[in-house]
Chains A and B, each alone.
Chain A
């Protein structure tokens, strides 16, 4: 059974600071990694995808992947109150453990940006 672990939070960050969200995964041969943002009662919205080791930047967001450590992170620069949400880490691919074809989601980290 694939597992994706996230600290549930809440993680409280002052407005304008950098928010750092972390995720670890169990399946060493996982191939694809995603960060989704979910506002309360709404659907998950894809904000970043990363497939290879290193950093990927998109606006205020940077995703970081370290496959050797089985670790994915999301940095949000210049945090805004509108960034307050739950952030879901999702992992796809891999060949171990069998199971369904799809993404395995972490339970999410609740981020609060304090004005």
Chain B
């Protein structure tokens, strides 16, 4: 089944404890992206990648890191999480090398930082 997967789906952690949220797609998509969704603010892009080893900042990149060493994987790293990073996170992918086309979303990761 063609899909985007994320792990973990739910995570409760404490301030300052490094964490990684994994994202993987099995559709051979070029483009991958991370979004966060907050009440009243909607979906906002954190980072994106147009291809392997090519990543760039989205609208809200502060406090996050990403890497794209393989085409299928695009992990999101929070090196020192803070409570304001409590949010619902979505990974998405698109078959083309640009984010202007259809994007398909993973199931989401609900993160709580205490």
Contacts and interface: CB of A to CB of B under 8 A. Distances in A.
B40 A107 contact: yes
B101 interface: yes
Interface string B76-114: 000000000000001000000011111111111000000
A49 B45 CA distance: 19
Interface residues of A, number: 22
A108 B40 CA distance: 10
Nearest to B42: A107
A103 B100 contact: yes
A106 B103 contact: no
A42 B108 CA distance: 7
Contact of A100 (B57, B107, B108): B57
A93 B103 CA distance: 13
Interface of B: 33, 40-45, 48, 50, 56-59, 90, 98-108
17 contacts: A32-B101, A34-B103, A42-B107, A43-B90, A43-B107, A88-B42, A99-B59, A100-B45, A100-B48, A100-B58, A100-B59, A101-B98, A101-B99, A102-B45, A103-B99, A107-B41, A107-B42
